[in-house]
């Protein structure tokens, strides 16, 4: 069976993890701090905070910005549940909007229609690694008529003076938009380094800070380092210095720090990301594109255009003119041919947690149409060309059997 997305674990990663274990320092320490600095240099953002997950990063930012009960945060209906879950954790209401037909990204026209005086943030999602149109989103929140609707309730909101744009860039580390990398495309971006991501630390994530003046992004970095460690004024590394055992707790914070064991994996992955990982993933995408281009039933994914280059995270193949039942039958037949595939994602209104909150799938027709025809194909470093041909043949055979 060809798996869907196993992580790349080789001798370089094993050696770096062993080095960390032998160092005697396995929680947040020098390797985590080095990983943060290298991420900042890679993205070009103003500061980077390594955290335990992208989910934790999103929630920390929302809570820092003062998102609370009565507030609204706009999210796409087509995303993983974490994007909306963090809004609910803060007591606010996720306002779902539809997505674009071609690229799965959040519809900017739908965003504009959804903005109210309660809107405090927008969370665009870079589905499959393709950045959203951030220039248009950034311009939208800065329009005078939109800023006039904004009601600031906290000093942070007053300082920004508009809706916060918080990019869910879980899929898109290393992607490009108008000659800039993700991480610098809007106010704050959050990456995921989960086991199935292009760049993994097993579990983990990062907050890329890029807030405009008068915000001090370095001061915010220090704030988040404290806030994600129960509000404790010193981390374990600082407390180990001579006579520095005493600390304070300045707020009832969270436990969301990355560890040096995880960061050691990330250091290896980041070093070879552009020169090796992304090249291999692009090759896989190109092989799929060439193989399915002649299939009349195939709707090929949008992962490059004049302004954007994907991180090649997920290959979103759609089958023309089918329904959800047919798609599921195709998937089963692919599995029967010893190939693992997936679906990214079930739109939020299909999930009980959101269906029970009153969200209706019928309100998001494009999201549902994309979903019911989508099959995610394997993309990972250790896929050989022989394995790719097996996947392609399994997909073609399965689709043609169902459509015949």
pLDDT-above-70 percentage for the chain: 99
Query: What percent of the chain is predicted at pLDDT more than 90?
Result: 95
CATH number, span 11-271: 3.40.640.10
Segments of the chain assigned to CATH 3.40.640.10: 11-271
Cα–Cα distance, 4 to 19 (Å, whole number):
30
Q: What is the pLDDT of residues 13-70, one digit of tens each?
A: 999 999 999 999 999 999 999 999 999 999 999 999 999 999 999 999 999 999 999 9
Q: What is the dihedral of CA 364, 181, 215, 263, to 10 degrees?
A: 100
239: confidence class by pLDDT, cuts 50, 70, 90: low
Is the pLDDT at 208 greater than 80, yes or no? yes
- Which residue's structure tokens are 């196993």? 6
pTM over the 0.85 mark: yes
pLDDT of residue 140: 98
Strand partners for 97: 76
- Residues 75-100: pLDDT tens digits? 999 999 999 999 999 999 999 999 99
Q: How confident is the model at residue 247 (pLDDT cuts 50, 70, 90)?
A: confident
pLDDT band at 246 (very low <50, low <70, confident <90, very high): confident
Residues in the chain: 404
- SS3 for 78-146, per residue? CCCCHHHHHHHHCCCEEEEECECCCCCCECHHHHHHHCCCCEEEECCECHHHCCCCHHHHHHHHHCHHH
pLDDT given for residue 235 in this prediction: 77
For residue 136, the model assigns a pLDDT of 98
Structure tokens at 340: 């693992």
Task: At 327, list the tokens.
Answer: 């798609």
Q: Report pLDDT for 259.
A: 97
Give whole-number Cα distances, 153 to 60, 90, 168, in Å.
17, 15, 24
Q: Kindly tell me the burial class for residue 213, based on how many C-beta atoms sit within 10 Å of its own C-beta (0-12, 13-18, 19 or more).
A: exposed
Is 244's pLDDT higher than 80?
no
CATH code for 273-403?
3.90.1150.10
The β-bridge partners of 93 are 72
| Residue 268 reports pLDDT greater than 70 | yes
288 pLDDT exceeds 70? yes
pLDDT digits (tens, 9 = 90+) for 170-202: 999 999 999 999 999 999 999 999 999 999 999
Domain with CATH 3.90.1150.10 in the chain: 273-403
Other C-beta atoms lying within 10 Å of the C-beta of residue 365: 12
Written as six digits, the tokens of 81 are 């549940």
What is the pLDDT, as a whole number, of residue 157?
98
**What pLDDT is stored for residue 65 in this prediction?**
98
DSSP-derived pairing of the beta strands 315-319 and 298-299: antiparallel
Instruction: Give which of 302, 320, 324 is closest to 371, Cα–Cα.
Output: 324
The single residue listed with the structure tokens 């320092």 is 25
Task: Report CA Rg, the chain.
Answer: 22
What are 351's two structure tokens? 């999930």
Structure tokens at 341: 């595939």
- Between CA 347 and CA 365 the distance in angstroms is 10
Q: Is residue 365 very low, low, confident or very high in pLDDT (cuts 50, 70, 90)?
A: very high
């Amino acid at each position: 069976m060809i798996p869907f997305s196993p992580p790349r674990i080789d001798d370089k990663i094993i050696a770096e993890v062993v080095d960390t274990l032998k160092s005697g320092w396995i929680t947040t320490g020098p390797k985590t701090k080095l990983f943060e600095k290298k991420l900042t240099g890679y993205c070009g953002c103003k500061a980077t905070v390594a955290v335990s997950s992208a989910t934790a990063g999103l929630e920390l930012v929302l809570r820092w910005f003062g998102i609370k009960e009565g507030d609204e945060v706009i999210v796409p209906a087509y995303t993983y549940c974490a994007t909306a879950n963090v809004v609910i954790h803060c007591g606010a209401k996720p306002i779902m909007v539809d997505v674009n037909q071609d690229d799965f990204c959040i519809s900017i026209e739908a965003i504009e229609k959804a903005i109210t005086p309660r809107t405090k943030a927008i969370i665009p999602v870079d589905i499959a690694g393709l950045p959203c149109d951030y220039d248009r989103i950034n311009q939208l929140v800065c329009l005078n008529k939109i800023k006039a609707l904004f009601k600031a309730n906290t000093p942070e909101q007053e300082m920004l003076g508009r809706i916060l744009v918080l990019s869910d860039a879980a899929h898109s580390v290393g992607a490009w938009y108008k000659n800039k990398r993700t991480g610098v495309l809007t106010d704050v971006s959050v990456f995921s380094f989960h086991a199935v991501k292009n760049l993994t630390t097993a579990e983990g994530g990062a907050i890329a800070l890029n807030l405009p003046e008068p915000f001090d992004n370095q001061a915010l970095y220090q704030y988040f380092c404290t806030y994600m460690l129960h509000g404790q004024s010193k981390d374990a590394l600082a407390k180990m210095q001579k006579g520095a055992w005493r600390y304070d707790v300045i707020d009832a914070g969270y436990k969301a720090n990355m560890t040096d064991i995880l960061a050691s994996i990330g250091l290896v992955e980041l070093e070879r990301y552009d020169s090796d990982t992304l090249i291999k993933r692009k090759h896989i995408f190109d092989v799929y594109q060439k193989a399915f281009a002649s299939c009349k039933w195939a709707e090929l994914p949008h992962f490059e255009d004049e302004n954007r280059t994907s991180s090649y995270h997920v290959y979103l193949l759609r089958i023309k003119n089918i329904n959800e039942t047919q798609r599921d039958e195709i998937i089963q037949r692919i599995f029967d041919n010893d190939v693992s595939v997936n679906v990214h994602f079930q739109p939020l209104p299909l999930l009980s947690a959101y269906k029970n909150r009153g969200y209706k799938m019928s309100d998001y027709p494009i999201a549902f149409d994309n979903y019911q025809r989508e099959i995610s194909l394997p993309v990972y470093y250790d896929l050989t060309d022989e394995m790719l041909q097996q996947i392609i043949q399994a997909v073609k055979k399965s689709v043609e059997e169902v459509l015949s």
